Amino acid sequence: MVKVACCWDDGVVNDIRLIGLLRKYNAKATFNLNPGLMPEHTGTPHWVTPDEKCWSYQGFANGKVGLKEMKEIYGDFQVASHGWTHMGGSVDPQAFIKDALDARHYLEDVFQRECPGYAWPCGDYTPVAARLLKDAGFLYGRTTQYTDRVGFTDAPLHLNSSCHHADRGFYDKFRAAKAANGIFYFWGHSYELLDCEGLWNQIEQKLAFLSADPETQWIDVIDIVR
């Protein structure tokens, strides 16, 4: 048996298509959101023009899910704080914990359920910030570091995953976790899939492969530490 979890950061429009694939393969996922950076309504993805000034990934401006549509889009999945404004752990400690809690409280109000998870923006983790998260009642903080022993830690606020979704060793790491009766946990940003059908086919193949294995049990990230 192998337990499989995944999470996706930043609340971008490509999450909508990704959620369709997750539902198709009965897969679970956690979405790490920054409510303070999300517009009122869902944006429209587009390729930027040479004179356009906006953040993009490889020239693709994915846009954010809107606050008004957030509950409908993510309602069947777990959500977690990614900070109100994507503020990392290296800033002033009080500013950091306010940013983390503002996002959590907003999400809990919208979804009417506890949201005790956290994902470190850009993997910006510090021991001081981790203690603040723990004292505030967060149960985990996902890093951008990797391990072949997911969940084997006494520091869940420094929770390492198995790999990024585009890792070349994705399938090998899954098989190793399965052989160890362990946990396979991957993460990413759906904007990395752009509007490229080849990349979308790759992630669908991975979800299909994982779900087709009779020994796969999909879990939420929070289940790793509970």
Measured distance CA(34)–CA(125) in Å, rounded:
17
The pLDDT score that the predictor gives to residue 191 is: 98
**What residues does 8 pair with on adjacent strands?**
31, 188
pLDDT at position 152: 84
| 99 three-class SS | helix
CATH architecture, range 2-225? Alpha-Beta Barrel (3.20)
pLDDT at 218: 98
The pLDDT value given to residue 137 = 97
**Are the C-beta atoms of 73 and 43 separated by less than 8 Å?**
no
What's the pLDDT score for residue 185? Answer: 98
Q: 């470190």: which residue's tokens? A: 120
Going from N- to C-terminal start, the domains of the chain cover 2-225
Q: What is the pLDDT of residue 49?
A: 95
- Average pLDDT per 10 consecutive residues for the chain, totaling 226 residues: 98 98 98 98 96 94 98 98 96 97 98 98 96 97 96 90 98 98 98 98 98 98 95
